[in-house]
C-alpha cells in the first residue's frame, strides 16, 4: 500500500497556530503569477457590455481593471500572512466572452516570496467589481472560479495549470 505524503502547510506552526513565514534568508528572484476570475453575467448583460462598454455606473471593464490593480497593491493588508511586496508590474485584461466576463491578471516583482496572492486578490476584486456594477441589471450574476493559471520564480520554479488550454506567455 502506498504511503500517504504528508502535506506541509507553511503558514501553520507545529502547534497549529498561524504564523507568517520568515522569508529573510530566501534569495531575491524574478517572480511572476497569472490568475483569472470569471463572472457569469448572462447573455443580456454581456451583450450590453459589448455594445455600450458599461451600464449606468460607468465603463464596467475599465473600472474592474482599476479595482484589480488597486487590490493587488493592498494584498498584504487584506490577507494576514502575506508579506508586503514591491510590485514591479500589473497587467489586467478584462474581456466579455459569451455570457461572462473573464479577468486575467499578471503580477511581477523581484522579491523573496511569490506574487500568487497578489494576482489572485486582484482577479477576485476585479470580478467583484464587475458584480457590483451589473447587479442592478440582474440578480443571478455569479463570480467564480478564481484560480491561479501560472507562476514562476523561487525554489519551486515554474508551474502552469494543465488541461484548460492556458498557455503561459
- Superfamily per CATH, domain 29-154: Molybdopterin cofactor biosynthesis C (MoaC) domain (3.30.70.640)
Which residues are identified as catalytic? 132
pTM score: 0.86
Peptide bond into 145 cis (omega under 30): yes
Query: Between the CA of residue 156 and those of 114, 116, 160, what are the distances in Å?
Result: 10, 13, 12
Place of cell 508551474: 159
Decide if pLDDT at 167 tops 60: no
Instruction: Give the pLDDT band (50/70/90) at residue 169.
Output: very low
Where in the chain are the domains? Answer: 29-154
Stated as kind and residue range, the H or E segment containing 107 is strand 100-111
Amino acid at each position: 500500500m502506498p504511503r500517504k505524503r504528508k502535506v506541509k502547510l507553511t503558514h501553520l506552526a507545529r502547534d497549529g497556530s498561524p504564523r507568517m513565514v520568515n522569508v529573510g534568508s530566501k534569495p531575491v528572484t524574478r517572480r511572476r503569477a497569472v490568475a483569472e476570475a470569471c463572472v457569469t453575467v448572462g447573455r443580456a448583460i454581456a451583450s450590453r457590455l459589448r455594445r455600450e462598454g458599461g451600464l449606468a455606473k460607468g465603463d464596467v471593464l475599465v473600472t474592474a481593471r482599476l479595482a484589480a490593480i488597486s487590490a493587488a497593491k493592498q494584498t498584504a493588508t487584506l490577507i494576514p500572512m502575506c508579506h508586503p511586496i514591491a510590485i514591479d508590474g500589473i497587467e489586467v485584461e478584462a474581456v466579455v466572452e459569451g455570457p461572462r466576463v473573464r479577468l486575467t491578471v499578471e503580477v511581477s516583482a523581484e522579491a523573496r516570496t511569490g506574487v500568487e496572492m497578489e494576482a489572485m486578490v486582484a482577479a477576485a476584486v476585479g470580478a467583484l467589481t464587475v458584480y457590483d456594477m451589473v447587479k442592478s441589471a440582474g440578480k443571478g450574476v455569479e463570480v467564480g472560479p478564481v484560480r491561479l493559471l501560472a507562476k514562476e520564480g523561487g525554489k519551486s520554479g515554474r508551474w502552469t495549470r494543465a488541461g484548460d488550454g492556458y498557455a503561459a506567455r
